[in-house]
Structures are given as C-alpha cells and as structure tokens.
Amino acid sequence: MAVEYRPGLPTRNDNVSHRHPLREFVLLMSALAFAAAGVFWTLGLAVDAAVGHMSAGTEAAVEDAFRRAGPPMSPADPVRQAQLQRLADSLLACARRARPAQVDLAGDSNPNAIALPGGRIIVMSGLLEHVGSENGLAFVLAHEIAHLQHRDHLRAMGRGIVLVTIAAMLGSTGPDVVGMLGPVNQAQLLHHSRERERAADLAALDILACRYGHAGGATEFFRALQRNERKAPARTAHYFDSHPAIDSRIADIERAIRERGYGAGPLTPIALPAAPASRH
C-alpha cells in the first residue's frame, strides 16, 4: 500500500521564542542586580548588628589574633614615633577607649595613616609634612582611634565575606556572571566605606574638642591635601574611591563645628627637632 508524500513547511517556527532578546537581557540584568544589591544590603545590616553587639571580650580576642599576625616594624624615627604614641595615648580618655593603640611611624612619602585590626595605627612620615600644629596631628590620630572604636575593620571584613559569598554563589554558573554583577556589590561596599569615613571624621572632631577645648586645627590636614590636589591632581586621585571627596569632608566637618558649637582656639605647635631632610 503506497503512502502518499505530502510535503509542507511550517509557517511559524515553534522551536524558538519570539520575545526580543534585548528585552530579556535588560529584564534579567536589572532583576539580578536588584537581588544582589538587596542581599548585600540585608546581610550588611546583619554584619552591623553582630559587630555592634560583639562583647568587648570577643573583640579583644579577635584583636589579639590580628596583633600577633601583624608585621613587625622597626621604627623609622624612634623619637618622633614616641611622641606620636604619647599624643595618641593622651586622646584615649576623650575617646572613651580603655586599650591603648600602638602607633608606628613608617618611612613613606604618602600622606596617609591607617588603622589596622589589632589596635595598631600606622602613620606615614609623609603625613607629618602636611600638618602644622599638634591639633591637626591629633585630629588625624583621633580619626584612626575612632575607626578602632567603631570596629570599622570588622564591619569591612564582614561585608567582604558577604561579597565573596555572593560572588561564589553567582560564579557557580560560570565566570561571566561575576564580572557583570560584581560592580553592583563593589559600589555598595565603597559607599559603606565612605559612610564609615564620615562617621570617623565626626567622632574625631568630638575627641579633638574634648581634648583641647576647641576645634581649631580640625581641617588642617585636609586643607593641605586639597592644596596638593590642585598642584598635582593625579597623585591623590586614588584616595577618593573608598573615601569621600576632600571638599565634602571639609564641608561636613565645618558644618558639624557650627552645629555642635565648637569654637576655634590657639593651635599648639608640634614641639620637635626639625624633620630629617631626606627620609624618602
């Protein structure tokens, strides 16, 4: 029995979807970026809650672990380092901090200071050229002590863990997705970092005013950096991503001075032998 062949071609292709791919792309990207940002934000709140409620004992244990792991440093200039240490110790009472912070002076021309987990503060010798008075220097040290008091390094570490976890979960499907959605979480991390810097600035202002009775010299260091920036913008550009812009930091501090009613006052000069000529 012969079977007839009836040729035909389907007019509509059912094996493909007819939605425009760009629409799908935009929808998926925005949904996933929103979800990634939401997860990061929620877990960030959890990190803040955990860090805020951490007992002093736990914090001390964590700090000791880091202190042992930190790099030993031989002092570039023992005399100045000892003076920095005395200045930092004098701020402890106003900072309501029991454990002293160890201050190290590093021979680096960058005008920077860092607070390390473990209760250490490292000041670069380049910073000393940008402060003209003890008050200005005290503000910088107070800012770093405020970071330690706020446990900012623990917050940053917790958020870093959250970022890596989200990246690992997204990355399980392939290498491309992390590159796409990573910047969303990184932008959130940098925003958080800027917020913590602002909080440390305001806390340092309070410590300064408590120690000296007035807020003179608070913006000394930032103004010096500002002058630097105008002369050679590229050099200090790297400073800005995780920190707020210099101009807005100065503005915030001055507004806080007005709001909290701090006055200006005489600046104490730094009593030191002249800085050695070429350390860098």
Partner 1 sequence: MEALIFWAGLVAVGFFAGRWNESRHYRSIEAREREWLQLPVTSAKEPLGDADAIVRAELVSGSVVVSVDYFKRMLAALRGIVGGRVQSYETLLDRARREATLRLKESCRGADQIVNLRLETASISTGEGGGVGSVEVIAYATALYRAPQRAA
Partner 2 sequence: MLMTNIETIPGKSIVACHGVVSGSTVRAKHVGRDIMASLKNIVGGELKGYTELLEESRRDAIARMRAQAEQLGANAIVNVRFSTSSVAAGAAEIYVYGTAVTVA
Pattern 201-240, partner 1, x by CB under 8 A: ----------------------------------------
**Site residues (CB under 8 A) for partner 2?**
1, 3-12, 14-15, 169-170, 172-174
Give the nearer residue to partner 1 in terms of CB position, either 34 or 41: 34
21 lies in the site for partner 1, by CB under 8 A: yes
Question: Of the candidates 54, 273, 266, 267, which has an alpha carbon nearest to the alpha carbon of residue 153?
Answer: 54
Residue 31 site contact among partner 2, partner 1, none (CB < 5 to 8 Å, cut-off depends on kind): partner 1
Query: What are 113's strand-pairing partners?
Result: 123
Contacts with partner 1 in 142-201 (CB under 8 A)?
Answer: 170, 173-177, 179-180, 183
Pairing of strands 102-106, 113-116: unpaired
Q: What is the DSSP string of 116-133?
A: ETTTEEEEEHHHHTT--S
> Of 28, 65, 82, 275, which lies in the binding site for partner 1, with binding defined by CB under 8 A?
28
Take residue 159 and report the two structure tokens written for it.
């958020």
273 lies in the site for partner 1, by CB under 8 A: no
Q: If DSSP codes are grouped into helix, strand and coil, which group holds residue 270?
A: coil
Q: What is the DSSP string of 209-269?
A: HHHHSS-TTTTHHHHHHHHHHHH-HHHHGGGGSSS--HHHHHHHHHHHHHHHT----PPPP
> Of 12, 19, 68, 258, which lies in the binding site for partner 1, with binding defined by CB under 8 A?
19
Count of residues that interact with partner 1, criterion CB under 8 A: 28
What distance in Å separates the CA atoms of residue 139 and residue 154, rounded to the nearest whole number? Answer: 22
Residue 24 site contact among partner 2, partner 1, none (CB < 5 to 8 Å, cut-off depends on kind): partner 1
List interacting residues with partner 1 (CB under 8 A): 2-3, 5, 7-9, 13, 15-17, 19, 21-22, 24-25, 28-29, 31-32, 170, 173-177, 179-180, 183
